[in-house]
Structure 1
Amino acid sequence: MVEARFTNPVIAGMHPDPSVCRVGDDYYLACSSFEYFPGVPVFHSRDLIHWEQIGNALDRPGQLTIPDSTPSSGGVYAPTLRHHDGRFWLITTNVAPGGGTMIVTATDPAGPWSDPIPVPGIGIDPDLAWDDEGRCWCTSAGIRQCRIDPWSGQPFGTPEPIWSGSPGALAPEAPHLYRIGEHWYLMIAEGGTERGHAVSIARGPAPDGPFEPCPANPILSHRGTGRRIQNTGHADLVTAPDGSWWMVLLGVRSGGGTPGWHVLGRETFLAPVTWGDDGWPVVGELETDLPEPAWIVDAPRVPPGCDDFDLPDLHPRWISVRSRPDGCWSTTERPGWLTLHARGGSLDEPGITFVGRRQQHPSCRARTLIDSGHGHGGLAVRLDERHHYEIETHNHSVRVIARIGSVRHVVATRPAPAGPVRLRVDIVAASPADGHPRQEPDVLRLGIEDIGGGFEQLAELDGRYLSTEVAGGFTGRVIGMYAAEGTARFDWFDYEAL
């Protein structure tokens, strides 16, 4: 093993419910996407540490419909990604009105993926596993299972309960079924996806059991500890070419005082796994400064911080709220600019024209150059319709707006400079040295920037109101550009860690 180290999370920002598979020397991973379109980001890695997004499994309206009536934190939940018989299989659930559980397949995980195959009668968190006879088993939340035909989606019978998890544990969910040696292992999440989250496991002689629980359950949980990574759960296992085992899982990095707010959403973490003499898995540490696996490859592939919108299509990291109709955006209408045409009147509305990327660092800076003409739009930090901050150009002025629950307030305003305007948001995490119980997790400073980089701050806002602990739900912050009236054009967008 080499001397270098790696740190968690391995995929930062809102990338929860990770599911992973290996094909040869390549790893592929998929995550939940909730109310954002396109859905289910897909990543590639050669070492489980450095991940590059190569596409989205649900990237066209024919695959994914999320109506405006879908509440935030609705949409696409908990995919399972597997490779079987030369093909990639992904099963997930769209909990939006008119949705349901579906399977899509591809020969190339970067896409294109097939049109969805509906799987009726199957709940959220579905898993796929094939036995030695080629039969496909589908297990879902509540730890219910039946066999299905994955090509047609047709279940064989009604899903039946196969294990209830730990006695009295809340919300048994996120099952994954594996054949390892002579046993079938069934790994689940339980305890709820908040501070009580945990991973437990059982094993049995057949895919449908009967299952005996591991005596050391939960095999992973950070509940009741002072560890910086909390809410650990919803895990998946993978083995490397050298025979070592690894777990990907979700967790959060909380900051500030009590109760500890997390603002980036649930992120993807990595932990080593060993197997005891009794045949049960033992999960290693996932805190910072873990040894790198021996097959570590080159330097991290960090997404470019600046996008000049010179290509006809957007990079797969860009996401929109619920949908992105062709007529509402373009990078060719004014070449080299992202043109957005308004659909909704503000970020309070579910149909806002918005293009953003996940916030991935506790301290970061986002900037853009906007030409709003006779319309208005700007730069926003969004958690949901009721929790967002933005700086926008509006009627020859620049203004900062805060939406916190039922309150919408124009915090600051000033005349707009002549010509296109550089809008900027600095997000600065709280110092861990400040132990006050009411310490905010971070502050957001919104203002305008001159061509030389000078910054005029118009407002400083408390970050706790854009946190899951305040707003609720399953998502994290997304930073991006929007049009609220008429047309807004953006020459570039720059994101950098501070």
Structure 2
Amino acid sequence: MSGGLPVTPVTPVIPGFHPDPSVCRVGDDYYLACSSFEYVPGVPLFHSRDLVHWTQIGNVLDRPDQLRLPVDSPSSAGVYAPTLRHHDGRFWLIVTVVGGGGNLIVTATDPAGPWSDPVPLPGVPGIDPDLAWDEDGTCWCTVAGVSQVRIDPATGETFGPPRRLWSGTPGAKAPEAPHLYRIGGYWYLLIAEGGTERGHGVSVARARTPEGPFEPCPANPVLSHRSTDDPVQNTGHADLVQAPDGSWWLVLLGVRPGGGTPGWHVLGRETFLAPVTWEDDWPVVGPLTSGERTPAAPFSDDFDDSALGHCWISPRHRSPEHCTTKERPGWLTLRAVGESLDAPDVVFVGRRQQDLSCRVRVGVDPARGRGGLAVRLDESHHYEIEADAGEVRVLARIGPLRTVLASLPRPDAGPLTLGVDITATEEPRDPRTGPDTLTFGIEEPDGAFTALGTLDGRYLSTEVAGGFTGRVIGMYAASGTVHFDRYDCTPVPDRYTSRTS
């Protein structure tokens, strides 16, 4: 796909930190799974009838006996690149847990769950595993590299050593994210290559058998935005699906860099959609298809339910002892473990930032502790506004530096409303301008917002922090017990208007 700024900027079909999409169709229903890295519950699962409007219906790895990440595991480790398939009346999901057990398979009859206990795959090396079945029922597992081994998906047994299939385009780094399909008279092997940064792309090869030999497409890469001025970059890690009307589609990841040079993406890698046609038995990928351009709906949670909704995530673990909506009706109660967001065991409950511009407000009662509202990328990159019984302060952690940007005494130790306004940069005139600004403050009972400090958003971007995740906005406890009585997120329309799922 060639470059050139489109007339209307393309928006993702699942905005925010939802990378590595894998999709399957059952009848008129589509299901899609994404990577979750260090966050639990793992592998968010979505449903759609049109490939554009998606609703999260659960998380695949939602129990400690399915996913238990070490407290000291680094950010951007954890759950990598699931493949979701439907075969023989069951849903199958294969995934890699980096630093927590390697490759595994879980199954379900209902994609909303419950999903089974994991079947480990000790004989399957590498990451980004894929599942495909041939006509006689043989199951092939293909992994990044790209290599393949025959497996029994019910037991995890492997048959023979992995064998190399195809290494992608000569000179292109990191052949990964393989997906194998039987379409017509060929087996197609779709891969990502070029690295998951600006050089990312999608290439394809075909063979008459699932074991090869594979012939590369002469038009590879069939999708890439490298070396273009397209506002969606890093396009890759794709999966094919056929619609009931016979049309073909590609789900893929991409990012929306903002600001000046080199451009900073802050929401992580998002899920996009593109049409596919066929020429000479090769897939031809069309322009990206936009999600809704209407203003996104506000999101609100008053924590009246006995359990948290599917969209709430936490780094590495979430214990009912430290996170509950049952102790104080209508409130989320967090009990501190780690002393700050710098700690890997911090008690934090957040939601992926899905809109480039938005306003978030949180009601908090810190009378018995210290905590507040944070925008988190990882332990070394986060901004927060926190309160205790005597003070409100705005803090920033940027790499090795940690500072208190502003503080304000509290004459009243009762509940208060903390907030952050995130404003995307529209058209930077200075190439050094960051992608957005984050203004933290207190909302008064009459709705007036008292700003305490504004920070440059570039330092909470992947280009600065590294890794594979995006921003998560949520609540935390740094000492004692902190209660939260609501969370409101209001999108602010801008030139990249996205929608909440």
TM-score by length of 2: 0.94
Shift of 1:8: 2.6
TM-superposition CA deviations, 1:166-191 (whole Å, max 9, x none): 01110000000000000000000000
Where does 1:423-442 land on structure 2 (aligned, <5 Å)? 423-432=418-427, 434-442=428-436
User: Do the aligned partners of 1:65 and 1:99 also contact (CA within 8 Å) in 2?
Assistant: no
Aligned to 1:329: 323
Shift of 1:303: 7.1
Whole-angstrom distance in 2 between the partners of 1:314 and 1:454: 29
Larger mean CA deviation between 480-489 and 280-289 belongs to: 280-289
Decide which of 483, 493, 496 is 2:477's aligned counterpart. 483
One-letter amino acid of the counterpart of residue 107, structure 1: T
User: Do the aligned partners of 1:388 and 1:402 also contact (CA within 8 Å) in 2?
Assistant: yes
In 2 relative to 1, CA 173–53 (structure 1 residues): closer, same or farther, beyond 3 Å? same
TM-superposition CA deviations, 1:231-277 (whole Å, max 9, x none): 0000000000000000000000000011100000000000000001x
One-letter amino acid of the counterpart of residue 33, structure 1: S
One-letter amino acid of the counterpart of residue 233, structure 1: G
One-letter amino acid of the counterpart of residue 377, structure 2: L
1:474 correspondence with 2:468: yes
Aligned to 1:14: 17
Where does 1:278-317 land on structure 2 (aligned, <5 Å)? 278-286=280-288, 288=290, 305-317=299-311
Whole-angstrom distance in 1 between the partners of 2:487 and 2:161: 50
Decide which of 380, 390, 411 is 2:384's aligned counterpart. 390
Where does 1:487-498 land on structure 2 (aligned, <5 Å)? 487-498=481-492
In 2 relative to 1, CA 417–363 (structure 1 residues): closer, same or farther, beyond 3 Å? farther
User: Do the aligned partners of 1:309 and 1:338 also contact (CA within 8 Å) in 2?
Assistant: yes
In 2 relative to 1, CA 6–473 (structure 1 residues): closer, same or farther, beyond 3 Å? closer
One-letter amino acid of the counterpart of residue 326, structure 2: T
Decide which of 420, 426, 430 is 2:415's aligned counterpart. 420
Where does 1:17-166 land on structure 2 (aligned, <5 Å)? 17-96=20-99, 98-122=100-124, 123-166=126-169
User: Do the aligned partners of 1:229 and 1:287 also contact (CA within 8 Å) in 2?
Assistant: no
Aligned to 1:464: 458
TM-superposition CA deviations, 1:18-61 (whole Å, max 9, x none): 00000000000000000000000000000000000000000010
One-letter amino acid of the counterpart of residue 336, structure 1: G
In 2 relative to 1, CA 329–140 (structure 1 residues): closer, same or farther, beyond 3 Å? same
Whole-angstrom distance in 1 between the partners of 2:149 and 2:117: 23
TM-superposition CA deviations, 1:291-339 (whole Å, max 9, x none): x9xxxxxx99x77611010111110100001000120111110000000
Whole-angstrom distance in 1 between the partners of 2:238 and 2:22: 7
Aligned to 1:345: 339
User: Do the aligned partners of 1:197 and 1:223 also contact (CA within 8 Å) in 2?
Assistant: yes
Whole-angstrom distance in 2 between the partners of 1:180 and 1:480: 44
Q: Which runs of 4+ in 1 moved over 4 A?
A: 287-290
Whole-angstrom distance in 2 between the partners of 1:223 and 1:121: 35
Shift of 1:374: 2.3
Whole-angstrom distance in 2 between the partners of 1:303 and 1:174: 33
Shift of 1:435: 3.2
Aligned length: 483
The 3-state SS of whatever aligns with 1:248 is strand
In 2 relative to 1, CA 206–417 (structure 1 residues): closer, same or farther, beyond 3 Å? farther
User: Do the aligned partners of 2:364 and 2:417 also contact (CA within 8 Å) in 1?
Assistant: yes
One-letter amino acid of the counterpart of residue 421, structure 2: D
User: Do the aligned partners of 1:443 and 1:461 also contact (CA within 8 Å) in 2?
Assistant: yes
Percent identity over the alignment?
68
User: Do the aligned partners of 1:8 and 1:270 also contact (CA within 8 Å) in 2?
Assistant: no
Whole-angstrom distance in 2 between the partners of 1:101 and 1:164: 21
User: Do the aligned partners of 2:297 and 2:490 also contact (CA within 8 Å) in 1?
Assistant: no
Whole-angstrom distance in 2 between the partners of 1:121 and 1:400: 49
In 2 relative to 1, CA 42–287 (structure 1 residues): closer, same or farther, beyond 3 Å? closer
The 3-state SS of whatever aligns with 2:321 is helix
User: Do the aligned partners of 2:382 and 2:398 also contact (CA within 8 Å) in 1?
Assistant: yes
Unaligned runs of 5+ in 2: 1-7, 493-501
Shift of 1:157: 1.2
User: Do the aligned partners of 2:13 and 2:290 also contact (CA within 8 Å) in 1?
Assistant: no
- RMSD of Structure 2 on Structure 1 (CA): 1.6
Shift of 1:6: 11
User: Do the aligned partners of 2:31 and 2:45 also contact (CA within 8 Å) in 1?
Assistant: yes
One-letter amino acid of the counterpart of residue 112, structure 2: A
User: Do the aligned partners of 1:336 and 1:491 also contact (CA within 8 Å) in 2?
Assistant: yes
Shift of 1:416: 2.2
Whole-angstrom distance in 2 between the partners of 1:85 and 1:7: 37
Unaligned runs of 5+ in 1: 293-298
In 2 relative to 1, CA 386–214 (structure 1 residues): closer, same or farther, beyond 3 Å? same
Shift of 1:120: 1.1
